[in-house]
């Protein structure tokens, strides 16, 4: 029996993680869950799985939740709620980090210190402070397993062998606007941007896919997860999202991971690997139905956000922290209708330009830089 602690239980990845736990009651038990604002969904999940610890996004959400529960767990509000979930249970338990954004960083570090395996969907944590997570992994020896589909694919193609690798090849669907030129992006709406062709995901990552920032964040994520230099990480456009990513070896062989786009596959693999289990209702891949698979090189001029992410990743130090904070802030403003789509990467660009790089920021510096960048990005948008 594996005890799972789930940050972001009310989100897209969170709900699919609960689905896997529900389908396999003999294998998994929910040790704790956290949510942000969605009290109704959190109450439903809590009453079904009865985790003894719950983290709520705010005091108000915690109070509201209490009235809807049929049992009496510890409900802890605010960031401390995420920390409580990260500390709950025992060594050897798994923390699924499916919260959105930088807020996932501290609970990841806490869970690692408490000896938990980390199944990480929350890429912002690795982007903003990859070096701190990596350092702590060396100290604690805990496993960090990828949930992001590309990284799960690479993990499965690697078999732990890194020395014979020529390159990691991440595939990118191209997002909602893949058939538009940069000029045609002027004036696109929030609803259009939220309409992803292949995946149904949370709002922030769907916008990140449309700007291609998501792929940039994923390159940085791959750099830290697989300890791979940026020169050995490539990206290829692949519109069908069937090849989830590839590894090219020194002898020219390319190992690819294929499947229908279904996030439950990488989520479950992170919970069961190296074993596999059937997934209820998942459609096996029938390649003859797809017929043809398309691959294309990425045009950096078209995808400015991707280029910015790559530069920030390579520059390292505090640059990825700024990249992530400015992007989170800009995407939030776009979703609220306060800025245009093209302003997202303009604001990120400006934030990076204005920042004076710190080579090895500690946690306190990262939190400060994150906060200051958000404030500056919001001020610049309204100014
Ligand atoms: P969603 O927006 O669907 O869900 C986010 C979750 O985090 C919700 O449970 C939300 O709570 C909670 N949350 C958000 N902000 C806070 C906060 N400040 N404090 C506490 N809880 C908070 O996102 P996704 O599930 O799509 O994505 C989650 C992470 O996984 C992201 O990092 C994303 O990049 C990554 N990912 C997602 C994929 C996908 O298919 N969706 C694929 C690969 C990676 P509430 O809703 O209750 O407010
Ligand atoms: Mg991905």
Ordered domains of the chain (ranges, CATH): 2-146 (3.40.50.720), 149-174+212-298 (no CATH)
Q: Which residue is closest in CA terms to ligand 1's atom 21?
A: 36
The pLDDT, as a whole number, for residue 95 is: 98
- Residues sharing a CB contact under 8 Å with residue 143, sequence separation 6 or more, in sequence order: 117, 118
- Whether the pLDDT of residue 212 is over 80: the answer is yes
The pLDDT, as a whole number, for residue 312 is: 98
Least Cα distance to 68 among 48, 84, 91, 87 occurs for 48
Query: Full-prediction pTM beyond 0.95?
Result: yes
Query: How many residues does this entry show for the chain?
Result: 383
- Whether the pLDDT of residue 301 is over 90: the answer is no
Q: Which residue is closest in CA terms to ligand 1's atom 22?
A: 36
Digit-coded pLDDT (tens) for 75-114 = 999 999 999 999 999 999 999 999 999 999 999 999 999 9
Q: What b/e string do you get for 221-241 counting C-beta neighbours within 10 Å, with b at 16 or more?
A: bbbbbbebeeebbbbbbbbbb
Query: Does ligand 1 lie within 6 Å of residue 201's CB atom?
Result: yes
- Whether the pLDDT of residue 160 is over 90: the answer is no
Digit-coded pLDDT (tens) for 306-319 = 999 999 999 999 99
Residue 163 pLDDT grade (very low, low, confident, very high; cuts 50, 70, 90): confident
**Beta-sheet pairing, 53-56 with 2-7:** unpaired
Which atom of ligand 1 approaches the CA of 206 most closely? 26
| Residues 97/121, Cβ–Cβ less than 8 Å | yes
Query: What are φ and ψ of residue 54, in 5° steps?
Result: -130, 130
DSSP-derived letter for residue 284 is P
Digit-coded pLDDT (tens) for 22-63 = 999 999 999 999 999 999 999 999 999 999 999 999 999 999
Q: How large is the average pLDDT for residues 173-180? A: 90
- Asked if residue 9 has a cis previous peptide bond (ω within 30° of 0), the answer is no
- Residues sharing a CB contact under 8 Å with residue 181, sequence separation 6 or more, in sequence order: 302
DSSP-derived letter for residue 148 is S
Query: What are φ and ψ of residue 8, in 5° steps?
Result: 85, 45
Q: What is the mean pLDDT of the chain?
A: 96
Q: How large is the average pLDDT for residues 203-209? A: 96
- Whether the pLDDT of residue 229 is over 90: the answer is yes
- Residues sharing a CB contact under 8 Å with residue 263, sequence separation 6 or more, in sequence order: 12, 13, 16, 147, 149, 199, 201
Place of tokens 């709950």: 88
The pLDDT, as a whole number, for residue 221 is: 98
Query: Does ligand 1 lie within 6 Å of residue 39's CB atom?
Result: no
> Using CA atoms, how far apart are residues 366 and 360, in angstroms rounded to an integer?
10
Nearest ligand by distance to the CA of 198: 1
Query: Does ligand 1 lie within 6 Å of residue 12's CB atom?
Result: yes
Query: Does ligand 1 lie within 6 Å of residue 146's CB atom?
Result: no
| Residues 203/193, Cβ–Cβ less than 8 Å | no
| Residues 38/12, Cβ–Cβ less than 8 Å | no
Q: How large is the average pLDDT for residues 289-297? A: 94
Q: How large is the average pLDDT for residues 364-368? A: 98
Instruction: Let me know the angle formed at the C-alpha of 368 by 366 and 369, rounded to the nearest 5 degrees.
Output: 65
> Using CA atoms, how far apart are residues 123 and 101, in angstroms rounded to an integer?
8
Query: What are φ and ψ of residue 169, in 5° steps?
Result: -120, 105
The answer, yes or no, to whether ipTM is higher than 0.95 is yes
The pLDDT, as a whole number, for residue 24 is: 97
Residue 299 pLDDT grade (very low, low, confident, very high; cuts 50, 70, 90): confident
Query: Does ligand 1 lie within 6 Å of residue 99's CB atom?
Result: yes
The pLDDT, as a whole number, for residue 196 is: 84
Place of tokens 């009651």: 25
Q: Which residue is closest in CA terms to ligand 1's atom 17?
A: 36
Looking at per-residue pLDDT, the higher value among 33 and 183 belongs to 33
> Using CA atoms, how far apart are residues 213 and 304, in angstroms rounded to an integer?
8
């Amino acid at each position: 029996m594996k005890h799972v602690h789930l940050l972001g239980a009310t989100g897209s990845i969170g709900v699919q993680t609960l689905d896997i736990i529900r389908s396999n009651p003999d294998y998994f038990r929910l040790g704790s869950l956290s949510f942000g604002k969605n009290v109704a969904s959190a109450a439903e999940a809590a009453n079904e799985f009865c985790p003894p610890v719950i983290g709520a996004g705010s005091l108000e959400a915690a109070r509201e939740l209490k009235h809807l529960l049929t049992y009496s767990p510890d409900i802890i509000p605010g960031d401390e709620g995420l920390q409580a979930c990260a500390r709950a249970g025992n060594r050897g338990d798994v923390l699924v980090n499916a919260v959105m954004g930088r807020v996932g960083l501290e609970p990841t570090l806490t869970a690692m210190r408490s000896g938990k395996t980390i199944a990480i969907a929350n890429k912002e944590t690795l982007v903003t402070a990859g070096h701190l997570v990596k350092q702590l992994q060396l100290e604690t020896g805990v496993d960090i397993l990828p949930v992001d589909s590309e990284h799960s694919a690479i993990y499965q193609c690697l078999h732990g062998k890194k020395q014979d690798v020529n390159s990691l090849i991440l595939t990118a669907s191209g997002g909602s606007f893949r058939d538009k030129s940069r000029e045609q992006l002027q004036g696109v709406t929030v609803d259009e941007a939220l309409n992803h062709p292949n995946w149904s995901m949370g709002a922030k990552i769907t916008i990140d896919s449309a700007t291609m920032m998501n792929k940039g964040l994923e390159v940085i994520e791959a750099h830290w997860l697989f300890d791979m230099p940026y020169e050995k990480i490539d990206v290829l456009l692949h519109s069908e999202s069937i090849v989830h990513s590839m590894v090219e070896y020194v002898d020219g062989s390319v190992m690819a991971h294929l499947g229908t786009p279904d996030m439950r596959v990488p989520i479950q693999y992170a919970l069961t690997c190296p074993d596999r289990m059937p997934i209820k209702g998942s459609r096996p891949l029938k390649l003859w139905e797809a017929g043809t698979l398309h691959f294309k090189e990425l045009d950096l001029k078209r995808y400015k956000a991707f280029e910015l992410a790559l530069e920030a990743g390579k520059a390292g130090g505090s640059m990825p922290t700024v990249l992530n904070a400015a992007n989170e802030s800009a995407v939030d403003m776009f979703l609220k209708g306060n800025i245009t789509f093209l302003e997202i990467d303009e604001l990120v660009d400006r934030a990076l330009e204005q920042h004076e790089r710190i080579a090895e920021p500690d946690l306190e510096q990262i939190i400060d830089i994150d906060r200051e960048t958000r404030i500056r990005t919001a001020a610049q948008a309204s100014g």
